[in-house]
Amino acid sequence: MALGHAPVFIQMTQTESKKGVVRLAVFLGLIAVGLYFGFMWLAANGML
């Protein structure tokens, strides 16, 4: 399936919703970004 005409989200035949997929993905992404900046912030402020 070429990227140009692939759906952004795969066909949803299961019990979930697209909104649920996006929310969970964004939430996990924010955790990752938070950990990245969080650890550097703690180190910069002498808390590690």
Partner 1 sequence: MSTATTHDEHHHGPDKGIMRWVFTTNHKDIGTLYLLFALLMFFVGGSMAMVIRLELFQPGLQFVNPQFFNSMTTMHALIMIFGAVMPAFVGLANWLIPIMLGAPDMALPRMNNWSFWILPFAFTMLLSTLFMDGGAPAGGWTMYPPLVLQTGDAFPFLIFSIHLMGISSIMGAINVIVTIVNMRAPGMTLMKMPLFVWTWLITAYLLIAVMPVLAGAVTMLLTDRFFDTSFFNAAGGGDPVMFQHIFWFFGHPEVYILILPAFGIVSQIIPTFARKPLFGYSSMVYATASIAFLSFIVWAHHMFTVGMPLTGELFFMYATMLIAVPTGVKVFNWVSTMWKGSMTFETPMLFAIGFVIMFSIGGFSGLMLAIAPVDFQYHDTYFVVAHFHYVLVTGAIFAIMAAAYYWLPKWTGNMYNESVGKWHFWLSTISVNVLFFPQHFLGLAGMPRRIPDYSVQFTEFNQISSIGGFVFGLSQLLMVYIVVSSIRGGEKATDRVWEGATGLEFEQLPSPPPYHTFETAPVIK
Residue 19, SS3 per DSSP: helix
Binding residue count for partner 1, defined by CB under 8 A: 36
Integer CA distances (angstroms), 24 to 4, 6, 9, 43, 47, in order: 25, 21, 13, 29, 30
Work out whether 47 is an interface residue with partner 1 (CB under 8 A): no
Residue 48 lies near partner 1 (rule: CB under 8 A): yes
**45 belongs to the binding site for partner 1 (CB under 8 A):** no
Tokens of residue 2, six digits: 């070429």
- Contact residues for partner 1, defined by CB under 8 A: 1-16, 18, 20-21, 24-25, 28-29, 31-40, 43-44, 48
